Structure 1
C-alpha cells in the first residue's frame, strides 16, 4: 500500500485484446539525411526515420512529456539502486543521466507552457530528485532515522510539485488529484528502493515497471489538464493515441532489456525478477499487435519478439563473459530476427515501408542495445547511460514511424478510454514464451 495513504491509479491507455484488422491509412513521409540525428538512418538508402524530436507541434511535445516522465522514473530508480549497492561509479553516471533528463524536461515544460512555468518547475523537480537520492542513501547506511527524515522531506517536495501542476492547470486539475498522482509516483520509487534494499527483487522489479507505467500515464494526465482543449482533442485522435501507446511499450522494452542485461552482465541475483518484467512487456507488445492486426499476427509476432529479447540478453551475458562464440551466435539470431520481423511488418502494413527499411530500423535498435551491453560490461557507465538515453529516445521515433505506417484505420481499433490494470496490463491474454 502507498506510504502516504491510498490513491486511485491513473488510467493507463492499454493496447490489449485480439481483434482482426487490416492496415490502411496515412503514408509515411521520409526525410533526406540532413537530420542532425545519426540514429535511425536507413542502411539501404538515403532516407531516415521521421525524428519525432523534430516535430514541434503541441501533440508531439505532449507525447515527449509522457516519455520524459517515464524516463525519469527508471533513471531515478536505477540511481537509487546503485546508491544502495554502493556502486559509486554507476551512481555518478546515473546521476548525470538523471540531471540531463531534468534539464530536458524543464526545457520541454518551457516549450509547452512558457518560460515562467519552466523556471518554477526546474528547482522543484531538482529538489524532488535530491530527496529521492537522500532517501536511498539512508537505506544504504541502514539509518532508519535518516530514512524517516528523508521521507518527510519527500512529502513536502511532492506537495509543492503537485500544487505547481494544479495551479498551472487553472482549475482543470484539482490540488488533491495532483497530490495523489505525484504521491503515487514517489511511493513507487521509495517502495522499490525499500524492496531492493531488502533483496526482495520480485517486488522491487514489479514496482520498477509499475512506476514507469504510472509516471508515463502521469504525463498524459498533465497533458489533458494543462494543454489547450484543442490540443487535447488532437491527442485523443486514434493515430496520436497509437503513437503514444506504441512509444510507451517500445520504450519500456528498451528500459527492461537494459535492466536485464545489466543483471546478466554482473551476474546479480535480481536477474530472474528483471526477466519476469521483461517477459510481461513482451506479452503486452504482442497483445497490442494482436489488437491492431489479428490474434494469429499477435502470436506470430510474440515468437519473433521473444527470440529477439532472448538474443539481446544472451549477447549481454556473453559480452560480460568475453565469450566471442556466444556473442557471434547472439548476433546471428538478431540478424535472423531483423529479416523475419521486417518481412512481417512490411506485409502487415502493405509495404508502406519496405522490408529493407524496416530491417535497417530494427538493426539500429539492436545495435544500440548491444552498444549499451558493451559499455556496461566494460564498466564504462557514462557511455552506457549515454547510449541508453539515446536508445530510449529512438524508441519514440520508431513508434511514430510504425504508428503512421499502421495507419489511421488500424489506430481506430484501439480502446477509446483506458483500462485500470495492475502490473503489465492484460498480459494473460497471450501465453508466456
Structure 2
C-alpha cells in the first residue's frame, strides 16, 4: 500500500477546532455526460436513475464541494505541468477546464453559503490559480527569483482564502488551522511542479495523488465547519459516508487512468511513475471491497480491476500508435471485464440491480475513458478535457449506485477512517472527527 508522509501533524491541527463528526459522504448532482443541465439521469436500461429531487440536497452539495476541490487539484497540476513542458495547446485546454471548475465551485459556494460568500470567494480563488500558473512559468523559464516571488504571493492568496473560510465558520475553523491546510495545498502543487521540472517523476506523481486526497479531505473539513449541524448530522449516516468514500476512490481512479493514458500516448518518461500511483489506487479500491465484504472478495476484485486498468492503458497506447488490432483487443478485454465485474457486483449485492444494469454502468465508464484517449491521441485537447470533466462527475454517479446497492448494513462496516488504506495524513483527520 502507498504511504503518504508529511501531513498527519497539520491535519491534527485542523481537527482541533472543528465540530466532532464522523467522515461525511454524499453524491454529486448527477447528469448525463452530454447534458450537464439534466434534472435526472437515465441510462438505456435504467441502470442508474437518481430523481431530480434527490440531486440537490445539502448532502449532495456538500460532497460536490469535496469533489470540486479534488478536481481543482489535479486540473491545476496538469496545467502547471503543461506550462513547464511548453505545450501551449494543452495549456489552453487545461486552463479552460480549470476555469469551468472555478465557475462551478463559485456557484456551489453561493448555493451553500450565500451570494455574498460566492462574490468574495471567486476573485480570491482566481488569484490563487494565476499564482500557480506564474509559479510554473518561473520554473519553465528557470527563473529562481521569479519562482520565489510567485511562492510568496501564493501564500498571501492562500492566507486570504483561509481567513475567508475561517470567518465564514464563525469560530468553528480556527484561522491558524485553516491557513495550515491551504498552505499544504500550495505545497503539494508547487512541490509536484518542482519535482516534475527536475524529472523526479516518482515524487511528482506521489504529490499529484496526495494533493488530490488532501483537497478532497479539505472539502470534508469545510463542510463540517461551515454547514449547519443538522446537515452535518445527515452526512454522518453510513450510506452517505460510503457514497463519499467510493466517490473519492473512483474519481481518483479516473484521473490517474487519464494521467497514465496521456503518458502512454505521448511516450513520456513519467509513464512508470503515473502507473505506480494508478496501481496504488487499485490496491486501495481492492482494500475497500475487502473491508466491506471479505478478504477473498477484495482479492477477486483486484484481479478484475487490474485487468480493466491494463486494458484501458493499452487502448490509449494503441490509439496513439494507430494500431487498430491492439485497440480491438483492448476493447474485447474491457467487454470481458464488464461482464465479469457485473456478475461479481450482482452477487455481492444480492442482485439489487441486474447484471445487465451493472454492465451498462461499467460500459459507460469504459467508453468515456476510451473517448478521452481518442481525443488526446488526436491532440483535440479541448474535447479530451471536456470528456475528462464529465468522466470525473460520472464516477460519483457510479459511486452512489454502488453504495445504494451495497446497502446500509454493508455501509456500517466502513471504518471511521474510510474503507481504503493509503489515506496517509488524511487518516488522522477522518478518524478523529
- Is this a same-fold pair by TM over 0.5? yes
State the alpha-carbon separation in 1 of the partners of residues 56 and 352 from structure 2: 24
State the alpha-carbon separation in 2 of the partners of residues 310 and 184 from structure 1: 32
* CA deviation after TM superposition for structure 1 residue 2, in Å: 11
State the alpha-carbon separation in 1 of the partners of residues 114 and 425 from structure 2: 35
User: Is the CA contact (8 Å cut-off) linking 1:13 and 1:245 kept in structure 2?
Assistant: no
- Could you say which residue in structure 2 is the equivalent of 1:383? 383
* CA deviation after TM superposition for structure 1 residue 40, in Å: 6.5
In structure 2, relative to structure 1, the CA distance for the partners of 1:84 and 1:295 (3 Å cut) is same
State the alpha-carbon separation in 1 of the partners of residues 51 and 200 from structure 2: 39
Calculate the aligned-residue CA RMSD, in Å.
2.6
In structure 2, relative to structure 1, the CA distance for the partners of 1:52 and 1:73 (3 Å cut) is farther
Q: Which runs of 5+ in 2 are unaligned?
A: 16-20, 24-31, 428-433
User: Is the CA contact (8 Å cut-off) linking 1:52 and 1:396 kept in structure 2?
Assistant: no
- Could you say which residue in structure 2 is the equivalent of 1:76? 76
- Could you say which residue in structure 1 is the equivalent of 2:10? 7
State the alpha-carbon separation in 2 of the partners of residues 150 and 166 from structure 1: 24
State the alpha-carbon separation in 2 of the partners of residues 51 and 262 from structure 1: 35
* CA deviation after TM superposition for structure 1 residue 80, in Å: 0.1
- Could you say which residue in structure 1 is the equivalent of 2:112? 112
* CA deviation after TM superposition for structure 1 residue 49, in Å: 3.4
* TM-score normalized with structure 2 length: 0.89
State the alpha-carbon separation in 1 of the partners of residues 298 and 369 from structure 2: 24
User: Is the CA contact (8 Å cut-off) linking 1:216 and 1:248 kept in structure 2?
Assistant: yes
**Cα deviation digits, residues 67-104 of structure 1 (max 9, x gap):** 00000000000000000000000000000000000000
State the alpha-carbon separation in 1 of the partners of residues 108 and 271 from structure 2: 35
In structure 2, relative to structure 1, the CA distance for the partners of 1:276 and 1:260 (3 Å cut) is same
In structure 2, relative to structure 1, the CA distance for the partners of 1:138 and 1:337 (3 Å cut) is same
**Cα deviation digits, residues 283-312 of structure 1 (max 9, x gap):** 000000011111100000000000000000
- Could you say which residue in structure 2 is the equivalent of 1:28? none
Query: 1:254-333 to 2 correspondence within 5 Å?
Result: 254-333=254-333
In structure 2, relative to structure 1, the CA distance for the partners of 1:277 and 1:214 (3 Å cut) is same
Query: 1:88-167 to 2 correspondence within 5 Å?
Result: 88-167=88-167
User: Is the CA contact (8 Å cut-off) linking 1:49 and 1:397 kept in structure 2?
Assistant: no
- Could you say which residue in structure 1 is the equivalent of 2:65? 65
**Cα deviation digits, residues 207-245 of structure 1 (max 9, x gap):** 000000000000000000000011111111101110000
* CA deviation after TM superposition for structure 1 residue 52, in Å: 8.5
* TM-score normalized with structure 1 length: 0.89
- Could you say which residue in structure 2 is the equivalent of 1:422? 424
Q: Which runs of 5+ in 1 are unaligned?
A: 15-30, 426-433
Q: Any idea what SS the aligned residue of 1:7 has?
A: helix
* Count of aligned pairs between the two proteins: 406
- Could you say which residue in structure 2 is the equivalent of 1:403? 403
Q: Tell me which stretches of 4 or more aligned residues in structure 1 moved more than 2 Å.
A: 6-14, 34-43, 45-54, 416-425
State the alpha-carbon separation in 2 of the partners of residues 98 and 115 from structure 1: 21
In structure 2, relative to structure 1, the CA distance for the partners of 1:190 and 1:13 (3 Å cut) is farther
